[in-house]
Amino acid sequence: MNIAILCFHTIGGSGVVASELGRQLGRRGHRVHFVGAAQPERLHPLPAGVSFHAVPLEEPPPVGRQGFVVSLAARLIEVVRAERIDIVHVHYAVPHAAAAMLARATGWTPRLVLTLHGSDVPQESASEGRVLLARRMALEADAVTTPSEALAARARERLGLDDSVMVVPNFIDTDRFTPSGERASLPSGPVLMHASNFRPVKRVTDVVRIFARVRATRPATLVLVGDGPDRAAVEAEVAAHGLARDVIFTGFVHDVAPLFRAATLFFMPSQLESFGMATAEAMACGVPVLASKVGGLPEVVGEAGVLAHVGDVEAFAVAALRLLDDGAARERLGLAARERAVRLFQPAPVLARWEEIYRRLLRP
C-alpha cells in the first residue's frame, strides 16, 4: 500500500506514535510518505520505505503562518496524485484532518483515517463552533480511531459519534525499550525522571514539587527529558526550591531508551493524557511508574504502577518515598511494568490491526 501520514514533527506523543507507525509500515513493505513542515524528530535518518515531503511553514505576507492549513492541503494533493496514495492517515484533527478535509474537496480517491490523540477532542469549555467543526472533521473520515477506551468514550460524548470509533492502542518497540542495554551516565543514587513536551497539561512543575519533597529527606537527582512552552516555568520552580544542582534538563533527545533504563522511578502527573507513550516506554524499560489517575493512563499502567489524583503532589511524594525505601517492592513493580508493556504494546499485533483497517477501507 501507498500511505500518506500527517503528524506533528516535534517530540510529543502523537508525533512519536505516527513516526513509529510509519517506520514499522516501511519495514513491512509499504511505501510511506510523511507530509509536513519538517521531518519528524523520530525519523532521523529516514528509514527504508519512508519518504518526507516538505510544506512551507509560512505563506507570503500578510497571510504568514495563518495559511499553513492551505499549504498543507495543497502539498497533500500533489503527493496523493504523484505517489498514487491509497490511504491518508492523519494524526490530530487540527491542522491535519482540517487540511485533509480541504484537500479531499478536490475529488481525490484515497481513504481517510483520523486518529484522535486527546486535546483535539474539544473540552467542555470549548465554543459551539469548535465542537461542530471537530465533529465535521470526524464525520468526514472513513475511519476514526483513538489509542484508549477513555478517549473513545470522550469522543463519542463530545462529538456525538457512534460506536464506530475504534480503539487501537499505541505500540512501542519492546526490543529497543528494554531493561538491558546502554544506560545513560547519570549521578549515583536515586534518579527520578519525567519526559514530555513540557506543555501545561503535563504539569511538569508538579514533578519538581514532588522531587522537592523527596529531596528534603534524601539525596536524589531529577532528570527532565524534553522541552516546550513550560520550560521557563519549570526552571523557575526548580530555582524557587533551591534545587538547581540536583535537576538535569536534557532538552530533546532522539534516543531516550538509555535515559529511561537509568531511571529509578518515572513520573507522569498529567492533567489529561489519552495514552502516555513515554509512560509505556519507561514501563518497557522495567521502570516503576507513578502517574495520574486520568484518561488512558490507568489503561496503560494498570496494576503495574502507582496512580494518584491529578495535582495531589503529596500522594505522589509519599508513594515515591515508599518505593525508594522498599527495594523489593520497587523491583516487583519494575518487573510487572515490563511484562505488561510486552503483553499489551508490542508492535506486531497493533501493526496487523492497522493493516486490517486499511485493507478493509480499500475493499470495493
- Give CA–CA dist 290/321, Å, rounded: 12
Local confidence band at 54 (pLDDT 50, 70, 90 cut-offs): very high
On the question of a cis peptide bond just before residue 62, with omega within 30 degrees of 0, the verdict is yes
- Residue 115's closest CA among 363, 357, 294, 337? 357
- Give CA–CA dist 15/2, Å, rounded: 20
Q: What is the pLDDT of residue 254?
A: 84
- Residue 140's closest CA among 94, 98, 86, 168? 98
Considering the domain architecture, whether residues 145 and 14 belong to the same structural domain is answered as yes
Domain coverage including residue 282: 191-345
Side-chain half-sphere CA neighbours of 254 within 13 A: 7
Considering the domain architecture, whether residues 127 and 211 belong to the same structural domain is answered as no
Q: Give a yes or no: residue 249 inside a domain.
A: yes
On the question of pLDDT at 42 being above 90, the answer is no
Considering the domain architecture, whether residues 140 and 25 belong to the same structural domain is answered as yes
Q: Give a yes or no: residue 183 inside a domain.
A: no
- Give CA–CA dist 282/302, Å, rounded: 14
Considering the domain architecture, whether residues 117 and 246 belong to the same structural domain is answered as no
212: left (phi over 0), alpha (psi -120 to 50) or beta: alpha
Considering the domain architecture, whether residues 278 and 143 belong to the same structural domain is answered as no
Considering the domain architecture, whether residues 243 and 166 belong to the same structural domain is answered as no
On the question of pLDDT at 10 being above 80, the answer is no
Return the C-alpha cell found at 124.
467542555
Considering the domain architecture, whether residues 160 and 247 belong to the same structural domain is answered as no
On the question of pLDDT at 220 being above 80, the answer is yes
Considering the domain architecture, whether residues 273 and 217 belong to the same structural domain is answered as yes
H-helix or E-strand spanning residue 133: helix 128-140
Q: What is the pLDDT of residue 331?
A: 97
- Give CA–CA dist 285/301, Å, rounded: 13
- List the CATH number of the domain containing 284: 3.40.50.2000
Considering the domain architecture, whether residues 234 and 222 belong to the same structural domain is answered as yes
The number of helix segments (H) and strand segments (E) in the chain equals 13, 13
pTM: 0.89
pLDDT tens track for 269-312: 999 999 999 999 999 999 999 999 999 999 999 999 999 999 99
- Number of domains into which the chain is organized: 2
Percentage above 90 pLDDT, the chain: 88
Q: What is the pLDDT of residue 63?
A: 80
Considering the domain architecture, whether residues 225 and 352 belong to the same structural domain is answered as no
The mean pLDDT value for 156-183 works out to 93
- Give CA–CA dist 274/295, Å, rounded: 5
- Residue 194's closest CA among 293, 301, 272, 270? 270
Q: What is the pLDDT of residue 65?
A: 82
Contact 117, 92 (CB under 8 A): yes
- Give CA–CA dist 339/138, Å, rounded: 35
List Cβ neighbours of 295 (8 Å cut-off, separation of 6 or more): 118, 148, 150, 151, 270, 272, 273, 274, 275
Burial of 108 (0-12, 13-18, 19+ CB in 10 A): middle
Q: What is the pLDDT of residue 11?
A: 64
Considering the domain architecture, whether residues 30 and 16 belong to the same structural domain is answered as yes
Burial of 74 (0-12, 13-18, 19+ CB in 10 A): middle
Q: What is the pLDDT of residue 40?
A: 92
The mean pLDDT value for 196-202 works out to 94
